[in-house]
Amino acid sequence: MNSMLRRKLRAMGYLLLRVATDISSLFPNGDRKVPILVYHRVCPLYYKKEIIYANVYPEEFNKQMVYLKTHFEVITVSEYLERISSESLTGKEICLTFDDGFKDNYLYAFPILKEYGLRATFFLTTGYIGGNSLFAWMPLDKGGKEDSFRHRERWLPLSWEEVREMMEWGMEFGTHTHTHRDSLSKMSRSEVEWEIEQSTKCFRKETGVNPDFFSYPHGTFKDYSPFHIDVLKAFKYRGALTTNIGRNGWPQNPYELKRIIVYEMDSLREFRKKVTGAYDIAENLQKLWLKVAGSRPYQSSEERSF
């Protein structure tokens, strides 16, 4: 499929998604499903219009946390699974997660979470944590290159000292492979085992505890399989998180937890739709899109749909 057709399909898909979720939001339900949000970056980037890497600006993140503090009970992934096990969900819970391990999570998101007494679960690409290299898989446009030159510290990974400090404040951490070099589905069995083993060992060495949770790179149903779940179980992981769109209830496979990505262009109105269930309808649209058009890990704001 050529890029022009892909862009047109994405634009149509995004419009369809907005219309569908607008309609869905008119019919709230009383179920007890839990939304799990996924962030990547929270940072005041220099060239706002050109940088595309799912960044939420701190002022917007603050507004979102105020809304959640007022309307939800923010819990960690481990607390969610405990409530599933005890059948004690109330329908007011929500989980916050962060993928990759950007230093801006510490610089900008962490202070806001502390201010409101909120906890989140962070997934680390362990081969980068504590180093001075930018994440290799991340595309840098003109704005990104300029901002990373002016404010390099905002583009670096977390340090292990920062991770340990956040853990002391009650933040939860898991792994996101060791190198994030590709979808697990595109790796050999031995490569998958190495990625998970290395990330597990590195995490245990630096924190003194075993990681309980794993986040699949890219994370759609095309990016993992029962084999990958078996490997995670062998390394004693209690659950894993996807980017399959939707909320979670029970019965729910703990190794296929759904999440909803928060993007930089989400208004507070769109954010409310995401956390109140209007985006549940997008699950089937996402599956159709991936089967028909395929996907790329990161897209520009104009191209991004699901």
63 residue type, one letter: K
CA–CA separation, 253 vs 262, rounded Å? 23
Domain ranges of the chain: 33-279
What confidence score (pLDDT) does residue 250 get?
Answer: 76
CA–CA separation, 45 vs 150, rounded Å? 10
Percent of the chain with pLDDT over 90: 65
Q: What is the CA radius of gyration of the chain?
A: 18
Name the more confident of 196 and 50. 196
Which element (helix H / strand E) includes 276?
A: none
CA–CA separation, 103 vs 154, rounded Å? 6
Q: Does domain 33-279 have CATH number 3.20.20.370?
A: yes
CA–CA separation, 18 vs 24, rounded Å? 10
pLDDT digits over 94-146, tens only?
999 999 999 999 999 999 999 999 999 999 999 999 999 999 988 787 778 88
What confidence score (pLDDT) does residue 145 get?
Answer: 84
Sign of torsion, CA 265 102 213 62?
Answer: negative
Nearest residue to 174 via CA among 220, 209, 136: 209
pLDDT digits over 146-203, tens only?
888 888 998 999 999 999 999 999 999 999 999 999 999 999 999 999 999 999 999 9
CA–CA separation, 177 vs 204, rounded Å? 13
174 residue type, one letter: G
Confidence of residue 296 (pLDDT cuts 50, 70, 90): very low
Rounded-to-10 torsion of CA 17, 18, 20, 25: 130
Name the more confident of 29 and 148. 148
**Do residues 260 and 277 lie in contact, with contact meaning Cβ atoms separated by under 8 Å?**
no
Sign of torsion, CA 169 175 181 184?
Answer: negative
**Do residues 173 and 123 lie in contact, with contact meaning Cβ atoms separated by under 8 Å?**
yes
The gap between the terminal CA atoms of the chain, to the nearest Å, is 18
Phi and psi at residue 144, to the nearest 5°? -65, -45
